[in-house]
Amino acid sequence: ICFSSPFDESSVDFLEDLDVPAYKIASFENNHIPLIKKVLSTGKPLIVSTGMASLSDLDTIKNLVEISKVEHFALLKCTSTYPAQPKNSNLRTIPVLRSIFNCEVGLSDHTLGIGAAIAAVSQGATIIEKHITLSRKNGGVDSSFSLEPIEFKSLVSECKIAHQSLGGIH
């Protein structure tokens, strides 16, 4: 499913013209209340990265979601460093966020490789966001921690295996 992260209200209007099915609020905009309200006014699912947000900030967003009656809302645990170090990922936060905010929780992953994303699945992540590039050799601001297509394919298959491996409690 293709969707986008708007960075201002006029971008929401543009994306609405394209009929995007959902919106993601980036970490740097998760305190941009007019933008969040504009996105919520569309009634479409909302995904919010938590990087740089306090629990109070996230509570404000959750309250706005409840007022708007948007049905589908998720948070992405995010460490806002680029690239992020695995030791700073604090993935045990995922089930805590799920418990506090009663919503789906995933990972916005800026680490190198796929290990952190697979570990996030073991903590209950239901969404994995990872940057992708056709080739790191092409450069770019996020190329160092982006996955190339073959690596992305591995991410998907290994996350599926990790999820299947959770099984039940026996």
> What count of other Cβ atoms lies within 10 Å of the Cβ of residue 170?
3
* All residues at 6 or more sequence positions from 64 whose CB lies less than 8 Å from its CB, including other chains: 33, 36, 37, 40
Asked if residue 1 has pLDDT above 80, the reply is no
- pLDDT of 155 reads 97
Asked if residue 3 has pLDDT above 90, the reply is no
Which run of H or E residues covers position 84?
none
| pTM score of the predicted model | 0.93
- Contact between residue 5 and residue 46 where contact means Cβ atoms under 8 Å apart: no
pLDDT digits (tens, 9 = 90+) for 32-91: 999 999 999 999 999 999 999 999 999 999 999 999 999 999 999 999 888 999 999 999
pLDDT digits (tens, 9 = 90+) for 102-117: 999 999 999 999 999 9
Pairwise CA distance, residues 155 & 118, whole Å? 8
Which run of H or E residues covers position 59?
helix 55-68
Name the token pair of 7: 């960075």
- Partners of 46 in the beta sheet? 23, 73
Which run of H or E residues covers position 33?
helix 33-40
- Contact between residue 9 and residue 38 where contact means Cβ atoms under 8 Å apart: yes
- pLDDT of 47 reads 98
Q: Could you tell me whether strands 23-25 and 46-49 are parallel, antiparallel, or unpaired per DSSP bridges?
A: parallel
Pairwise CA distance, residues 43 & 106, whole Å? 21
- pLDDT of 2 reads 77
- pLDDT of 46 reads 98
pLDDT digits (tens, 9 = 90+) for 119-168: 999 999 999 999 999 999 998 888 888 999 999 999 999 999 999 999 98
Based on the number of CB atoms within 10 Å of its own CB, is 163 exposed (0-12), middle (13-18) or buried (19 or more)?
A: middle
- pLDDT of 148 reads 96
Asked if residue 10 has pLDDT above 80, the reply is yes
- Contact between residue 12 and residue 39 where contact means Cβ atoms under 8 Å apart: yes
